[in-house]
Every structure is written in structure tokens, then in C-alpha cells.
Structure 1
Amino acid sequence: MKFFKEWGRFMMMGARAHADWEIAVSNTIVKDRKRIMILGLLLVPIILGGIAFADQIGTVMPEVLGGKKAYSPAFFTTGIFIASILIGLGAGLITGCIGAGGGFIIAPALMSAGIKGILAVGTDLFHIFAKAIMGSVIHRKLGNVSVPLAVIFLIGAVIGATCGGIINRVLYEINPVLSDAFITTIYSLMLGMLGCYAMLDYLKARKRGDAGSAHGGKHEGADLGSLPRKLQAVKIPPMINFDQGLVPGGRSISAVFLILSGALVGFAAAIMGVGGGFLTFPIFVYMLGVSSMTTVGTDIFQIVFTAGYAAITQYAIYGFIFYTLAMGMLLGSLIGIQIGALVTKVVSGITIRGFYAMAVLAGFVNRIFALPGKLAAMEVITLSRETTGILDKIGVWAFFIVIGGFGVWVIGTFLTNIKILKGERAVS
């Protein structure tokens, strides 16, 4: 029970840190006219291309679309583009409103919409990379970035991302269904643990009558626990120094632990497509004993390179990125984050935390109900097509009803309180 609690706390801490990054990036893009214009220019060829070629897709690229080469549906239709915006909007609403990683629902949502798992992962990574490049806030945080820490960490991240990408591609070459089953299993485990912890946390807070903050409070500082002390006491050269400006004499840790940590983050990024940022913060603070201030700056620095390396070298060059979908998700998430962040001003934190727990558990139900169909298709278990079809529909409907209901509630709350929110802005 203690392990479950600590692991859930570890995951939630990472989800909140990643959401903070998403919100900062969104604000940077939305509040800069030049960046908005760049985004608009990027969308123009997508829209014009869709209008020009939508009716010819079936005859122009028949060998590319389908079968095992399956970059499908890596082409534009109006319906696909709108769906991508809605998926990004849902993820953005969760991130902005709750301050925890809405990006966890993107891959399950894409797979539920019929996108192959490897394409969902690659597209999600590229979407994160595009967002990081467009809304980079590195220059604001450079004073808090430990360059030696980041560089050594990135060595491990490159190794991990390469391994994760190879595993996904090899599994896909063996059997596309095996690839989907593998990604589905990973998401089922992660969303199940995170969802259960979030729900228990919500129920405890409700029992205490704690209205609280939707974002669950501030991140933890740099007080060293027993594990960071033990790791920093291991003097395997080379030793990397950090936090010199925060702690007298600074602290140091072996490059070996940084490389291993980076490898874990890079591996998770390449396997799941969530950028790995949700792991960096808790690993740095909980395990390595890096201060929160240094961690935030270094995390922003590394996520650009980790997501970029994984997206381009492990997926883009092999054709496993759906660019139109990535741009739609970017647009939707920018809108969703802004609306979600405003709604937190007029809704109690405890209510929003309850919705988050439901959203994550809905993602878990979606993936766990999809898994029997994958296993049956590989003849690992015996189930009729009717049974697997029913299970899959239950998972899909449960997921989209919860996420859709949350989205309608947030947008409805925003619209009904728009006068109040305008007044708050005017006062501020």
C-alpha cells in the first residue's frame, strides 16, 4: 500500500510539473502575435491541401494508405482535422483547468479514433516538439538551467529514446496488432495507477472538506530525502555539480545516475509519446535531490531535445507521424489550456480534481477494454468478434462520454461566467 501511495504521488507530481510547462508554453504562444501568425501560416497549407486533394486521396496514394506500411490515415480530410482539434481541445481543457497532464489522454483518444498506436505515439511526440519550439520559454529560465546536468541527462535520453523507438518499430514490423497491444498495455498500467491515486486523493480531500486548489499545491522543494542522500554519497566519477547558487558549496551526483535517469525518460517518451516530461520532475526532485528551481529550468531545456530527437529520428523519418493531426491538436490544446485556466477562477478546486480522476480512469477503461480485442486478434486468447466488438465499444463510449462531458461542462462554465472573468481581468 505504501508503494502504491508513493508511486501515485510520484506520477501526480510529474503530471502537474508537465502541465505547468504546457501552460507556460501556451501562454507564450497566445500572447505573442508573431507566434500566432506563424501558427496560422502553418495551418494554411493543411487546409488548402485538404480542399485540393480530399477527393483524390483514394487514387493518388493507394499503396501508402493501408496494409502493414500503414501510415494511414496520414492524409487530410475535414473530419480528421476537426477530430484532431477536438482531441487537443479536450487535453488542453484538462491541462489548463486541473494543472495536471491532459496529454495522457491524447494517445488513447487517437487510438480510439482508429489511429494505429505507433502513429499515435509519433504524432503526439511531434505535437509536443512543435509546441516546445513555437512556445519555447527557455530564455526565461536559463538562469535556472544546470547545463552540465542537462547535457549528461540528454546523453541518457538519446539512448533511451533510441531503444524505445526501435522496440515500437520492431513490434510493428512483426505484427501491427502486437504493437497496438504493447502500447495499450503500457497505457493501461500507467493510467490505472494514476487514476486510482487521483480518485483516492479526491475522495480524501472531499472527506476533509478541503476545497483546495485544483492544481494540488506547489511542487516540493530541494529538501533531501533518504534516497537522494544515498545516491549523492556514491562517488562514481565523473561527478556533476549543481545547485551552487542555492546550497552552500552546491551538490553533486554521479553522471551514471543522470544517464540512467535520462535513459528512462527518453524510453518512456519514445514508447508512449508524452514527451517524458512527466517523469523528469519527480526523478530529479525525489530521486536525485535536485532543487525544484533548477529542475524546472532543466526540464524545459531537456523536453525540447528529447521530444525532438524521438519524434524526428525514431518516427518522422520512418513515416509514423501524421502532421495534419499534430497541427490540429496543437491548435486545439492552445485554446483549451486558455479556457481551462480561466475556469479555475470560478470553480472550486475539489470539483475539478474529481473530474480529473474520472478523466484518467476513463482513459484506463478505454485501453483496458480495448486490450482483449488485440489479444484475440493475435490468438493469445479466444474471444468472438462480437464480444471484442462490444468491449471495444464500451471502452470508446465510456471514454468519450466522460471527456466530452467534462469539455462541455468546462466550456459551459466559461461562457456562463464570462462577465465575471472579464471583470477579474479588468481588475488585474
Structure 2
Amino acid sequence: MTMKGLYNSFMYAARAHAKWEIETSFNIIKNRKQLLILFIMALPLLIPAMAHAADFIGGKSAFGPSFFSPTTFYGSIAVGVVAGLITGCIGAGGGFVITPALMSLGVKGILAVGTDMFHIFAKAIMGTTLHKKMGNVHAGLAIAFLIGSGLGVTGGGMINRALFNYNPVMSDLLISSVYVILLGFLGFFALSEYIGMRKKSPKGGDAHGGPDEMTALGAKLQSINLAPMIKFDEHVVPGGRRISGIFVAICGSVTGFLASILGVGGGFVTFPMFVYGLGISTGTTVGTDILQIIFTAGYGSIAQYAIYGYVFYTLAMGMLLGSLFGIQVGAITTKVVPGTQIKAFYALAILAGFVNRLFALPEKLAQMNYITLVPSTAAIITKIGVWLFFGLVSIFAFWIIGTFIANIPKLRAESGYDVEDTKGGVSQ
């Protein structure tokens, strides 16, 4: 598979996850029971005494203490808003910026990872629309994948905790380095895609879909008869296809490991491995991916981070509240924002995270004595990365919110028109 194909598969997975997250957020907002649950979960933010009682699953007195201040908490809400705006407006993964943003606010890397995973899980259990996807979830593939994912999440969590206990700086260095590679890859390809869109109109077809035919690697792996064999995709090809559960579990372990290291759902690697590597249809892949995200985030955040004190509960709730608002505004604003501008801001948001973690590396490397650098110089480089990051994402956020406010009359008119159409039986 080419680098462009790998990028497209990442983006397809990000869009599938974003679609589920948007549905989940709207489900929470529209359901009074879910809003009541959200209010109860947010009580530690509203009642200071309860905030201190929440320290047993994170907070400023956790086993992995992180500097806490009102700025950090309000910053977590802002981070949630920005991530929600990216998800809602762009329809792609805004979660990539959460861990780098929290680390920039002074939260240690391992706490940022655990908190991000807990925030994903909290949103999932409150407003999950998984039942809508269950028709695409294959039980055999899901079981094999989740077994592997559980092993991967456990391994990633153990490594993160071991590194943090050995040297917190080494833990931050590992997390930052992986983010530099991932965000650099996604950001520069997103930027090149935007430039390509400006030069010429895209031709027909979905550039972010999977391959029309099974890849050579997928055909090769499916030809290997290694028990247990799983039959799937009967709705795609007559007689279905077969793949060894061992290969599926291996894919699950890779996904779980990366998710546990980075603090994300892990869906961005599930799609390329399933579709390009194992030859599984995109529909089956998306359904299974949504299921694994809930499991991975839940098991990882609780069993690998929360019980060890590496979940910052108050920040997780701040991000949840912020993201619900951001997703609503972002999703509505797409009706009045040109697609090319959305592409541009997505590329900038991802590259902002890349620059942020890249500029943090010199200070981490100097603290580990891998390079020689004056502490004051290293601190200045880190601060430049922080200011560049928050400056770029703030421009994006203010632009989207400003566009939304400026177009409220137009959006209201369109909403009223849609309602009339629905009453008349035009809309489905």
C-alpha cells in the first residue's frame, strides 16, 4: 500500500469514528436522562468538596501528580471545545489534539493519556449509538479482535506506567515522539490534499474509501489455514471469506497497544489493517471498529490508568462538556463553510499538534542528557511550541464560532425549511 493509500485509510477511519462521535453527542444533548447523568458526573466540578473526593481516580493528589490550577481546568474545557469543533465541522478525528494540548497545559503525559481515554469512554457509555451499528459487527471477528486488543492495551499501559515510575521525563518523551511521527504524517498529507483540491476539482469516487478489490496481502493471509478460522462478509461475496482468528487478534493487539500509549480510541489503525491487510469489507470494519473503541477506551482508562491514579477526572469532565458544545456548533456550521476551508483548517490543527510536540522534544532530550542544551533555551523552545499550538487552534475555534454566530439567521431559516419539508413528506 502506498503512503497516500495509508493516509486515505487513516482518514476513512477518522471519519467513521467522527460520525459515531457526532451521533453520540447529539444523542446525549437530546436525551433528558443522559443530561441528568452528565450533570451528576459533573458534580465534582460544581461542588469543591466533591472535587477533592474524586482524587482516588485522579486529580492533583493522584499517584502521578500533575500541576492543577483553575487555568488547567478551564483550559480542558477549551481543549474539548476545539476537539469537538474539529470533529463536528471537519468530520475527522479531533481527538488527536487532546493529549498534546493537555501536556501543553502542564499535565504529565501519562495523565493526559489516561484522561483522554476516560473522556472517550465516558462519552461512549452516556450516548452510545452502537445498536445502530450492530448489523455490521461480526461476532467472530469482534471476539478475536477484542482478545488481542485487551492484551495490547495491557502491554501499552504497563510500559507507560513502568516508564513513568522509572523516569517521568522518559514517559513524556515517548508519548511526544510517537505523536510527532503520527501528527507529522497526517498533517503534511492533509496539507498536500488541500493544496491539490485548490489546484483541481477531485474526480468521481470516494478518495477515502477502501480498495475496490482485495489486496494481495489480504488474499495471501486468507489463504493460510490457521485455526481458528473465522467466516465473514457473506453479504459481500457468495460463500463469504475466511481468515485466521490469530491474524485478527494480532491486529487487535497492535490497535490496543497504540491506543494505550497515545490515549486515543485506536480506530485510525484498525481500518488499514482490516481492509488493506486482512481483506475485510469497509462496512464490517467500521462496525467492529466502533465496538472496539468503546472496549479499548473503557478497559484502558479504568484498568490501566484510573485505578493507578493516572486519570484526571475533573479535566476529563471539562473536556466532555466542551466537546459536546464544540461538536454541536461544528456540525451545524458545515452547512455554511466551504469544504476547501475546512480542509485547510484541519491541516493546520493537526500540524499545530505536530509543532507543539516537536518543540517539546529538545527540552525532554536535554533532561534525559541525550543532548546538551541550556535549560533556559530549552524552556523557550517549548514555550514557542505551546504558543504556536494554542494560537493556531484558537484562530480555528474563533473562526468557526464566529462563522456560526454570523450565520445564525441563515441556519435558522434552513432549519425551518427542513422542518416544513419533513412535515410534507419530502425529507426522509
The question of a shared fold, defined as TM-score above 0.5 by the shorter chain, is answered with: yes
Cα deviation code 1:343-396 (max 9, x no counterpart)? 111011011101111111111100000000001011110000121112111100
Letter in 2 for 1:161: V
Query: Matched residues in 1 for 2:46 and 2:297: separation?
Result: 26
Give the 3-state SS of the residue equivalent to 1:270 in structure 2.
helix
Matched, 1:122 2:114: yes
Relative distance call for 1:158 and 1:286 in structure 2 (3 A) is same
- Does residue 382 (structure 1) correspond to residue 376 (structure 2)? The answer is no
Aligned residue identity for 1:275: G
Query: Could you tell me whether the CA contact under 8 Å between 1:221 and 1:292 is conserved in 2?
Result: no
After TM superposition, the structure 1 = structure 2 runs for residues 97-246 of structure 1, keeping only pairs within 5 Å, are 97-209=89-201, 219-220=209-210, 223-246=213-236
Q: Distance in 2 between matches of 1:251 and 1:137?
A: 28
Q: What do residues 16-37 of structure 1 show as CA deviations (whole Å, max 9, x unaligned)?
A: 2222222122122122221112
> SS state of the match for residue 214, structure 2?
coil
Q: CA deviation at 1:257?
A: 0.9
Q: Do the aligned partners of residues 52 and 282 (structure 1) sit closer, same or farther apart at CA in structure 2, a change above 3 Å counting?
A: closer
Shift in Å, 1:201: 0.7
- Cα displacement string for residues 251-286 of structure 1 (whole angstroms, at most 9, x for unaligned residues): 111111101100010001100001112222232222
Q: Quickly say closer, same or farther: Cα 1:252–1:39, change in 2 above 3 A.
A: same
Deviates more, 1:366-375 or 1:21-30: 21-30
CA distance in 1, matches of 2:156, 2:134: 29
Q: Distance in 1 between matches of 2:15 and 2:193?
A: 14
Q: Does the alignment pair 1:70 with 2:69?
A: no
| Corresponding residue number in structure 2 for 1:47 | 46
Gaps of 5+ in 1: none
Deviations 1:311-331 (A, max 9, x none): 111101110000111111011
The Cα shift of 1:70 comes to 2.9
Q: 1:312 maps to what in 2? A: 302
Question: What residue number does 1:10 align with?
Answer: 9
CA contact (8 A) 2:45 2:51 kept: no
1:206 alignment partner AA = R
Task: State the shift of 1:306 in Å.
Answer: 1.2
Matched with 1:300 is: 290
Kept in 2: contact 1:211–1:349 (CA 8 A): no
Hey, what's the Cα distance between the residues in 1 that align with 2:189 and 2:74? 33
Q: RMSD value over aligned CA atoms?
A: 2.4
- Pick which of 278-287 and 204-213 moved more: 204-213
1:417 aligns with 2:411: no
Cα distance in 2 for residues equivalent to 1:151 and 1:51: 38
User: Can you list the C-alpha shifts for 1:97-152, whole angstroms capped at 9, x where unaligned?
Assistant: 11111100000000000000000000001111111111111212222211111011
> Using the alignment, how far apart are the partners of 1:32 and 1:51 within structure 2?
25
Q: Any gaps of 5 or more consecutive residues in structure 2?
A: 419-428
Report Cα offsets for 1:168-213 as digits up to 9, x if no partner.
Answer: 0111111000100110000000001111110111111111155999
Residue 27 of structure 1 pairs with residue 26 of structure 2: yes
Is residue 86–residue 93 contact of structure 2 (8 Å, CA) maintained in 1?
yes
Q: 1:53 to 1:254 in 2, by over 3 A?
A: closer
Counterpart CA distance in 2 for 1:142 and 1:11 is 22
SS at match of 2:47: helix
Q: TM-score, normalised by structure 1?
A: 0.92
Among 326, 333, 342, which residue is 1:343 paired with? 333
Distance 1:210 1:238, change over 3 A: closer
Q: Distance in 1 between matches of 2:78 and 2:97?
A: 12
In the alignment, the residues of structure 1 paired with residue 271 and residue 94 of structure 2 have an alpha-carbon distance, to the nearest angstrom, of 16
Alignment of 1:265-414 (within 5 A): 265-414=255-404
Deviation at 1:50, TM superposition (A): 5.9
Report the alpha carbon displacement of residue 79 of structure 1 after superposing the two structures with TM: 3.3
**2:424 corresponding residue in structure 1:** none
Letter in 2 for 1:72: S
What is the TM-score normalised by the length of structure 2?
0.92
Q: Give, in whole Å, the separation in 2 of the partners of 1:113 and 1:15.
A: 25
Distance in 1, matches of 2:64 and 2:158, equals 17
Q: Is the 8 A contact 1:265 1:277 kept in 2?
A: yes
Q: CA offset at residue 220 of structure 1?
A: 3.2
Give the secondary structure class of the aligned counterpart of 2:231: strand
User: Tell me, what secondary structure is at the counterpart of 2:230?
Assistant: strand
Whole-Å separation in 2 of the counterparts to 1:295 and 1:96: 22
| Count of matched residue positions in the alignment of Structure 1 and Structure 2 | 416
